[in-house]
Amino acid sequence: MKAWASALDPTNTSGIRFLADPTGEFTRALDLAFDGGAVFGGDRSKRYALVIEDGKVRQVHIEPDNTGVDVSTAEKVLKDW
């Protein structure tokens, strides 16, 4: 996650926080886990983006097929923001 943040926000000025969920606890709490055992070896997170302001979720962008990149891209999320 650190490398991704460094590549996408090298000056740390975007206001975006890059957070990992190594145990999947957050993903399960949001009910965004899916069984990826056949391909990935276990449960995985659906691809999604959240817009959070003042500690409240303002927008949720969840890919309908779990792994695609149609609704959760930065361009689409920022367009709706």
The DSSP code sequence of 57-69 is EEEEEE-TTSS--
pLDDT for the residue numbered 37: 63
Q: Which residues pair with 56 in a beta bridge?
A: 53
Which residue bears the tokens 């145990």?
23
Residues 6+ apart with CB under 8 A from 57: 50, 51
Q: Is 27 exposed, middle or buried (0-12, 13-18, 19+ CB in 10 A)?
A: middle
Q: What does the pLDDT look like over 46-78, one tens digit per residue?
A: 889 899 889 999 999 999 987 778 898 888 888
